[in-house]
Structure 1
């Protein structure tokens, strides 16, 4: 099993976020692809960040993160926005404390 951090542009913080999302290796990440993997990261509580997303895309292609420019970057932004919107349609991701408060009935669940 090769660590996620062995992929260009991806360091220990991304590796930890991937582990929280059930992505345990570079092989897992490659098999999922960047869009599915990033959606899983968001679902696991990672705050969406465009640079993190396109750094992952570039890294999976073996390219430096700052190689992304022009139309390619615009296209990736559209993909990122779609992933983010699908992860939390019409609302921001719920924090862990809000989730717990929802669960015990202290605050009303978001709809």
Structure 2
């Protein structure tokens, strides 16, 4: 049986549900995709962007505590996070409303 996303440091049960809505159901899938592609998929599925959640995931994939990110490293991660948000915005993949996000999660929305 595959290890859940929440088996990665800094990620909990809410991460399991959020990533599952993006089609990522195991820690192995998340590692294989890498943090940027996985987070982009998460946003495409309707999750709201959250910088701390992003860098906590990045740190967790490195086996580090979430609050280990500081200084130039944190600045570089912020640039990556902003680039992911910009790609999602440019693609039009961000749901326009919470109801659209819910519909997308259950597979009946207009954007996937």
TM, length-normalised to structure 2: 0.83
Between the two proteins, the alignment pairs up a number of residues equal to: 100
CA distance in 2, matches of 1:59, 1:70: 18
CA distance in 1, matches of 2:25, 2:35: 14
The runs of 5 or more residues in structure 1 that have no matched partner are 100-111
Which is bigger in relative contact order (C-alpha 8 A, separation at least 6)?
2
Runs of 4+ displaced beyond 2 Å? 89-93, 96-99
What pairs with 1:71-86 in structure 2 (closer than 5 Å)? 71-86=72-87
TM, length-normalised to structure 1: 0.83
Larger Rg: 1
The runs of 5 or more residues in structure 2 that have no matched partner are 102-112
1:50 deviates by 0.2
